[in-house]
Each structure stands twice: as C-alpha cells, then as structure tokens.
C-alpha cells in the first residue's frame, strides 16, 4: 500500500512491495526528490538487532504517523537523510534506539519541477481564497480584522508568486544567452566538399576526395562562416611526389581555379602549409622546417576568424600557428583549399 505523509517541508511516500520497501521524500520547497528501495539484505546494515527487518521499519514508520508519540523523532534532512530515533524507558533506565537511511538524490526534470511548483502554489491560493470567501459570506462569525489579514495575505502571496516567476524567467533567459554564446563559439565541424568542375582533378566520394591529373589548386564548395570558429581535416592518401599544399584562400580566387598556373599562396590573406616543410603566409614563403605531410597523415586546420588566427595540427599534434590580424582579413570570405604541383596526389576531407 502506498502511504503519503507530510513531514516538515517534505512529502513522504512509503510503499511496501514484494521486492522491498520504497521510501520517497520530496522537498516541497525545492521539488528535489530522494528515493531509496530497501531489501531484507540492505536492512541488516542499518541496525545490529537480529529482529530488525523490513516489517519492523514499515511498522515503526506507520506508528509514528499514526500517534506521533513524544518519545519518537523522525526527520528528513535537506540532503535526504531520514533519521528515526526512539527513547525507551525501563524503570529509571532510558535507552535510545533508531536508524538512519540515506535516500538517493534523484535528477530533477526542470519542467516537472516547475509544474509541481505551480500546482503547489495554485493549491495554496485556492485554500486562501476559499478561506477568505467563507469568512466574507459569514459575517456573523467573521472578524473584520481577520478578513483584512487574509486579503493582505492572499495579495502578498500572489505578489510573491509573480516575483518568483519573473526571477525564474530572468534566470532562464540568462542561461539561454550563455548557452547560445557557447554554441556559437563551437567550431563548425561540417565536412567540406570539393568543387567538381575542374579538368585537372578527379573528384569522388561524394565530392570529399580529390585526385590530381596535373598541377593546380582546388577550393572547397563551402566558405567559412566568418563569424564562427571552424575546423576542417584532410586525410593524405597519396603524397609520394611531396608536392602537396593545403590551407585557406580568399573566395575571389574561385573564378580562377581552372588556371593551372595560378598560385593562390601569393595572396595576402592566403595561408598554405606545403610539403617542403615551409608555409606561405601573407604572400611570402617561410622556411620553418615543419613536418612533411606523409601518406595516411591527417592534418587539421582550426580557424578562428573573429580572432584572426589559425592553428595547424598533424595527427592531433599542433605544428603551426598563424596570426592574420582581423584588419588583414577585412571583409574577405575564405575557403579551404588544396594545391598540387603534379599528378596522382590524392586527399580527402574527413571528419574532425
């Protein structure tokens, strides 16, 4: 049988089943729920008395809520610890017995918590209104000052509810704003796709793999969102000729991809990591003795347009950093790209 009791600011439910004894305590002020299922084996750890069992716990709890004897105490702490104590007198000797059960804290569903809170507050308003109406319609039995107090109490209570709702709305709006900012700062990890209209590249794998027929460069279909951090990863499938470069190039070069003799790395806003171990930054080459891309390597570029910065990783290890400066980027739209100096070089955009 499921029994419901009120204990301080807790609502206590006790349910005896064939499997054991369920004790549920809900804090009516915070809607925090605690729950514990006791079995015959788990009860043994609560009390050393060999006669102490599930039936005993169930009965003493029932007796407490039935008679509420002064010699017995039952409390639930805000941390969900239920403590029962009883003082037994044997002549002039008083002995204390009892037990404690740590109930397990349950995860709160915010919507259910709000729903329960509103139901509880609505119930309280209904009680006050009913009490007020009863006294107003029975003036002989009513005291005018008591009615005024009730009216004030009801009005104050409604004001309190409205304030709490406003506070809740304010907290939720701030939380939403924080989450939106965090989501907006997450790198865009969508896999880019190569353009598929150039004769010097064979494109496959749903436009994610490119294999060169001759010298040239190839840009992705999708530009970077210049208001959001982004990251793309490139799997090196064949770079035996060591003639591969990759990086970020301005969008106005898209119209010139068909020109095999155009070198995108001469552009100011271009960054290219090259197989010779050097990089091209702001239109000039920098011999930095960096790791040469090998077959089966995965290189990634993390680009942060709002900070004017990019970071290069080889197999998840950082190998280079480049600071553009926001003023250099200006209003340019940038794209991922690859450059090859010969044929049979093969790369694929892959998941980050």
Query: Would you state the pLDDT for residue 300?
Result: 93
The pLDDT > 70 percentage for the chain reads 80
**Residue tagged 């970077």 (tokens):** 224
Res 51 pLDDT > 90: no
Res 96 pLDDT > 70: yes
User: What contacts 116, CB < 8 A, 6 or more positions away?
Assistant: 31
Query: Would you state the pLDDT for residue 326?
Result: 66
Q: 224-240 pLDDT, tens per residue?
A: 888 888 899 999 999 88
Res 343 pLDDT > 90: no
Query: Would you state the pLDDT for residue 299?
Result: 94
Question: Higher pLDDT residue, 97 or 180?
Answer: 97
Task: Give the separation between CA 159 and CA 168, rounded to whole angstroms.
Answer: 14
3-state secondary structure 272-329: EEECCCCEEECCEEECCCCCCCCCCCEEEEEEECCCCEEEEEECCEEEEEEECCHHHH
Query: Would you state the pLDDT for residue 261?
Result: 59
Lowest mean pLDDT among 24-33, 254-263, 281-290: 254-263
Res 336 pLDDT > 70: yes
DSSP 193: -
Q: What is the mean pLDDT of residues 148-162?
A: 74
Q: What is the mean pLDDT of residues 111-139?
A: 67
* Backbone CA torsion sign across 194, 196, 198, 202: positive
Res 323 pLDDT > 80: yes
Task: Give the separation between CA 319 and CA 302, rounded to whole angstroms.
Answer: 12
Res 69 pLDDT > 80: no
Average pLDDT, the chain: 81
Query: Would you state the pLDDT for residue 304?
Result: 87
């Amino acid at each position: 049988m499921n029994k419901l009791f009120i204990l301080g600011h807790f609502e206590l439910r006790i349910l005896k089943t064939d499997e054991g004894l369920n004790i549920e305590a809900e804090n009516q002020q915070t809607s925090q729920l605690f729950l514990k299922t006791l079995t015959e084996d788990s009860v043994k750890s609560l009390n050393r008395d060999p006669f102490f069992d599930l039936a005993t716990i169930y009965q003493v709890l029932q007796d407490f809520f039935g008679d509420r004897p002064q010699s017995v105490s039952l409390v639930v702490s805000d941390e969900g610890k239920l403590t029962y104590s009883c003082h037994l007198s044997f002549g002039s000797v008083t002995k204390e017995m009892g037990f404690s059960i740590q109930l397990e804290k349950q995860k709160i569903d915010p919507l259910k918590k709000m729903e329960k809170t509103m139901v509880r507050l609505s119930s309280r308003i209904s009680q006050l209104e009913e009490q007020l109406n009863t006294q107003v319609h029975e003036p002989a039995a009513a005291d005018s000052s008591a009615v005024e107090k009730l009216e004030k109490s009801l009005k104050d209570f409604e004001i309190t509810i409205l304030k709490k709702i406003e506070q809740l709305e304010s907290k939720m709006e701030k939380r939403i704003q924080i989450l939106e900012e965090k989501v907006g700062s997450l790198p865009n990890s969508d896999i880019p796709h190569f353009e598929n209209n150039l004769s010097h590249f064979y494109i496959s794998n749903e436009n994610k793999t490119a294999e060169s027929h001759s010298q040239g460069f190839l840009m992705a279909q999708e530009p970077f969102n210049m208001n959001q951090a982004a990251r793309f990863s490139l799997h090196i499938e064949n770079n035996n000729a060591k003639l591969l470069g990759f990086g970020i190039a301005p969008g106005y070069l898209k119209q010139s991809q068909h020109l095999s003799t155009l070198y995108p790395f001469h552009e100011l806003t271009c960054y290219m990591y090259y197989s010779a171990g050097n990089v091209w930054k702001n239109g000039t080459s920098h011999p930095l003795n960096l790791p040469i891309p090998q077959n089966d390597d995965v290189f990634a570029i993390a680009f942060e347009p709002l900070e004017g910065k990019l970071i290069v990783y080889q197999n998840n290890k950082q190998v280079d950093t480049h600071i553009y400066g926001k003023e250099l980027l200006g209003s340019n739209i940038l794209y991922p790209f690859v450059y090859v100096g010969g044929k049979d070089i093969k790369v694929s955009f892959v998941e980050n």
